[in-house]
Amino acid sequence: MLPLTYWDIHDPRVLEAIRIVPRERFVPPELQQEAEEDRPLPIGQGQTISQPYIVAYMTEVLRVDSENRVLEIGTGSGYQAAVLSLVAKEVYSVERIGNLAMAARERLKTLGYGNIHVRHGDGSSGWPESAPFDRIMITAAVKSEPPALVEQLRPGGFMVFPQGGRRVQYLVRITKDAQGSCARESLVPVVFVPFVRGIL
């Protein structure tokens, strides 16, 4: 079983979501025995499922509440979306790799996560027809935040994403005020696969 507590994760809803989402269902069959380990694992197509601690940390610092509509860029296996779905009202998740998007959509449906919508598309474009979003999370490292995503963030909302190159990345949180101005803060060093535009 995954850890029930982390020393700096305090939101009980986040900890409960990490506890009950079956991570072994989001990894390839040959890696299911390793799913309870707190480390990233490969999921194919050059992508990874993040370690549970990072999923918990990003979810907590996004400050999600039960009335929030969340946009996630980078569905991957669907694990982060599943965790978000237990603390948010709705999750809209965009994946650029068609095979991963299709597999994640079917997996999440099978597991009963009815408030998650998965789209195969270019994450840099977001999901404009369902915007604005209360919270936005990017799960791949960007050089700078895509302008379309900032535009789709509701005033008063938060956006969290890793920023940097292959060697140095930091998790960044943007807070958008009522006038549409954004304040940035760097949180912790992280390692993510790079953000790529376009679709496969």
**Quick check: is 54 in a domain?**
yes
Position 126 confidence tier, pLDDT thresholds 50, 70, 90 = very high
Q: How many structural domains comprise the chain?
A: 1
* CA–CA dist 146, 71 (Å, integer): 13
Q: What does pTM read for this prediction?
A: 0.91
Give the bridge partners for 73, in sequence order.
Answer: 94, 138
pLDDT of residue 1: 45
Residue 114 has pLDDT above 80, yes or no: yes
**Quick check: is 38 in a domain?**
yes
**Quick check: is 197 in a domain?**
no
pLDDT of residue 7: 62
**Quick check: is 198 in a domain?**
no
**Quick check: is 5 in a domain?**
no
Per-residue pLDDT tens digits for 139-184: 999 988 889 999 999 999 999 999 988 788 999 999 999 888 899 9
Is 85 one of the annotated active-site residues of the chain?
no
Ramachandran angles phi, psi of 42, nearest 5°: -70, 145
Per-residue pLDDT tens digits for 68-105: 999 999 999 999 999 999 999 999 999 999 999 999 99
Mention every residue, 6+ apart, whose C-beta is less than 8 A from residue 16. 86
Residue 75's domain is classified under what CATH number? 3.40.50.150
Domain that holds residue 129: 12-189
Position 198 confidence tier, pLDDT thresholds 50, 70, 90 = confident
**Quick check: is 1 in a domain?**
no
**Quick check: is 65 in a domain?**
yes
Q: Strand ranges (DSSP E) for 40-146?
A: 41-44, 47-49, 69-73, 90-95, 116-120, 133-138
**Quick check: is 196 in a domain?**
no
Residue 107 has pLDDT above 50, yes or no: yes
Four-point Cα dihedral 182, 187, 190, 194, nearest 10: 0
Per-residue pLDDT tens digits for 14-65: 999 999 999 999 999 999 989 988 888 988 888 889 999 999 999 999 999 9
Average pLDDT rounded to a whole number, residues 117-126: 94
